[in-house]
Amino acid sequence: MSNLLERLKACLENGSSDQSLLPEAMTEIGALSKRVDELEELLIMIVRTGWPWDEDNEPNEIFRSSKDGFATAIVEARDLLGLGFRSTITRTEPKT
């Protein structure tokens, strides 16, 4: 991200306004929003593959033998995404 946040903060602290910051902020926010959506879709696909779990959603041997970091990250990602219930994140869930 550019120094946009610093420039916006400076404007707020000075009580000034710079109208040229608005289009730049809109562009950056739009780009970040798109990246967030893409990352959420990828993370949902990774979590939904169920690689380290069996059909009953129980950890399998791959889960137990994998490094703790990966297993913990997948569990945390699944919880973070709220895949146990429908939400604005899961409404566009990719087919896996």
For the full predicted model, state whether its pTM sits above 0.75. no
Q: How many domains does the chain have?
A: 1
The confidence score (pLDDT) of residue 84 equals: 63
d(CA 39, CA 45): 10
Q: How far is CA 57 from CA 17, 48, 52, in A?
A: 54, 11, 9
Average pLDDT of the residues in 78-83: 76
Q: Which domain, by its residues, includes 34?
A: 4-92
Q: Residue 8: what residue type? A: L
The confidence score (pLDDT) of residue 56 equals: 80
The confidence score (pLDDT) of residue 82 equals: 73
The confidence score (pLDDT) of residue 92 equals: 52
Q: How far is CA 85 from the centre of its chain?
A: 17
Task: Please indicate whether residue 82 or residue 33 has the higher confidence score (pLDDT).
Answer: 33
**Three-state SS at 79:** helix
The band of 95, judged by pLDDT with boundaries at 50, 70 and 90, is very low
Pick from 15-24, 29-38, 60-69: least confident: 60-69
For 53-66, the pLDDT digits (tens) are 777 877 777 776 66
Q: State the average pLDDT for the chain.
A: 76
